[in-house]
Amino acid sequence: MANIKFFSGEKTPLEMHKVRIIQKLSLPPVEARAIAMEEAGFNTFLLRNRDVYLDMLTDSGVNAMSDQQQAAMMIADDSYAGSETFFKLAAKVEELFGFQHFLPCHQGRAAENMIASTFIQPGKVALMNFHFTTAKAHVTRLGGKVEELVTKEGTKTTSTHPFKGNIDLDALRESITRLGKQVAFLRIEVGTNLIGGQPVSLQNMREATAIAREHGIVTVMDASLLQDNLYFIKTREEAEKGKSIREITREISDLFDIIYFSARKLGFARGGGMMIRDEAMFDSMKVMLPLFEGFLTYGGMSVREMEAIVVGLDESMDEDIIAHGPMMTEYMCEELLKNGVPVVTPPGGLGCHINAREFLSHVPAEQYPAGALAAAVYIAGGVRGMERGTLSEEREPDGSEHVAEMELLRMALPRRVFTHSQVRYAIDRITWLHRNRHLIGGLEFIEEPPVLRFFLGRLRAKGDWQNQIVAQFRKDFGDSL
């Protein structure tokens, strides 16, 4: 993704890597896809991978590894305690982020569990730019509450604001004044997942953490999506353009007391970790590690994954590498927009987000438009996305639906995985579906789990709209898969 222009003037995301290991894919015919969707309870989480052509469910744990990462995995130091691989990882963390204390853990939510267990009791409030499903669930599990302070621009689906993940600083001051000692910590999700992978500016982080520091409030960064956010700071924030990715990383890190991440996203691997600045705080938190995760020098991770993270973190400092995801996302969003499909703008990180509320304006919120659209996109193209809307919310205590602020279908673009023609195929099928959107109806639950229902819940179509999509597909595409 270096600065390479096309003679034609075409704006094409150009890969600065080549494919050296491949996985064969298959695409079942549309009739089989409709049956697979019914069997999966209209929940894309419950599909079998063998029935999926392009898996755009998530960017978590499915990013492609580099040759350097694979090579590093061969020399991992396997040991329960004292593994050299751990010390290599801790040294890399200190080099890039400047933290001396590091706790490895099995994935991002494990860090969230330890942070919530340390700071949350009933009545406490965690301030956040925006929640993430697991981050919020750990706070509420312990009787705490979450307050979201993202700027108004953040939850507008259509915008030109370059940093929609920013915190509203006046709202932050107001919350701190009103809540006083009830504030447990300030958590900034750097790269805001649920509103479309939207970034936070370095300036906003400086100001928000300064306000927190004035009031003695612990500052936490969720760095799971930091990689994309670094690219956006470098390319969208005028004052930071002259700095290297490493310099920006270090400047961000210096603002926080705790940084945690899911290595399923940051570092192109699997696992996670948490950095803690204060030694006493570190000592009080590390006792949880052997209880929930594993010994201090592996934390539930395979040492091979830890070797891969060491290399992956270094690769995340390379602008050519981190540009790939955001540029593919931008391409997909812009092409869909040209075809009249409503997507979240400006394009963010991690994938293209389709505005299901507008796409399926005839489907009521209580019938889960984004869930229905996810099912329809799979039937139309064998492409699996993820519902990020009302279905992903918990019900209100009285059992009524909590209608989500944004009703999105996320088509994630795992980093370094898909080719340009595969993304074009997804654009084509989504565009076709948009022309035929009147065919798509709503969903209703047949099995609804009480927590995080979107993972395991089963639903059915209201009517038999899945079969109408199949019939229209045959009419328009003939014998095509």
Ligand X SMILES: *Cc1c(COP(=O)(O)O)cnc(C)c1O
Cβ proximity to ligand X, 287 vs 452, nearer residue: 452
Q: How far is the CB of 382 from ligand X (least distance, A)?
A: 25
| Three-state secondary-structure class, residue 321 | helix
Task: Decide: 200 and 129 in contact? Cβ < 8 Å.
Answer: yes
Helices (H) then strands (E): counts for the chain: 19, 14
Options 168, 222, 228, 257, the catalytic residue: 222
Active site residue 265: yes
Binding track over 259-278 against ligand X, x by CB under 6 A? ---x-xx------x------
Q: How far is the CB of 154 from ligand X (least distance, A)?
A: 14
In order of 5, 32, 180, 317, the CA distances from 9 in angstroms are 7, 41, 55, 28
Judged by CB under 6 A, does residue 108 bind ligand X? yes
Please identify which residue in 157, 224, 227, 229 interacts with ligand X, judged by CB under 6 A: 224
Q: What tokens does 222 get?
A: 């969720």
Binding track over 180-219 against ligand X, x by CB under 6 A? ---------x---x--------------------------
Cβ proximity to ligand X, 108 vs 371, nearer residue: 108
Cβ proximity to ligand X, 109 vs 304, nearer residue: 109
Nearest to 12 by CA among 319, 334, 229, 347: 334
Q: How far apart are CA 56 and CA 203, in angstroms?
A: 32
In order of 40, 414, 418, the CA distances from 53 in angstroms are 16, 14, 11
Options 67, 78, 80, 87, the catalytic residue: 80
Q: How far is the CB of 104 from ligand X (least distance, A)?
A: 13
**DSSP for 333-382, written as a single string:** HHHHHHTT--B-SS--SSEEEEEHHHHTTTS-GGG-HHHHHHHHHHHHHS
Q: Which residue is nearest to ligand X (CB)?
A: 108
| Neighbouring residues of 418: CB distance < 8 A, sequence distance ≥ 6 | 54, 328
Active site residue 298: no
Q: How far apart are CA 17 and CA 39, in angstroms?
A: 38
Options 136, 265, 357, 416, the catalytic residue: 265
In order of 126, 146, 173, 174, 210, the CA distances from 179 in angstroms are 10, 12, 10, 8, 18
Q: How far is residue 429 CA from its own chain's centroid? A: 23
Judged by CB under 6 A, does residue 113 bind ligand X? no
Q: How far apart are CA 6 and CA 144, in angstroms?
A: 53
Judged by CB under 6 A, does residue 55 bind ligand X? no
Q: How far apart are CA 439 and CA 171, in angstroms?
A: 42
Judged by CB under 6 A, does residue 83 bind ligand X? no
Backbone φ, ψ for residue 189 (5° rounding)? -90, 110
Name the one range near ligand X by CB under 6 A: 166-174, 204-212, 257-265, 359-367.
257-265
Please identify which residue in 222, 257, 315, 387 interacts with ligand X, judged by CB under 6 A: 222
Q: How far is the CB of 311 from ligand X (least distance, A)?
A: 19
* Cα dihedral sign, 29-35-39-44: positive
Judged by CB under 6 A, does residue 109 bind ligand X? yes
Judged by CB under 6 A, does residue 132 bind ligand X? yes
Active site residue 133: yes
Judged by CB under 6 A, does residue 329 bind ligand X? no
Cβ proximity to ligand X, 234 vs 264, nearer residue: 264
Please identify which residue in 60, 175, 249, 316 interacts with ligand X, judged by CB under 6 A: 60
**Residues near ligand X, by CB under 6 A:** 60, 107-109, 132, 134-135, 189, 193, 222, 224-225, 262, 264-265, 272
Q: Name the residues annotated as catalytic.
A: 80, 132-133, 222, 265, 388, 454
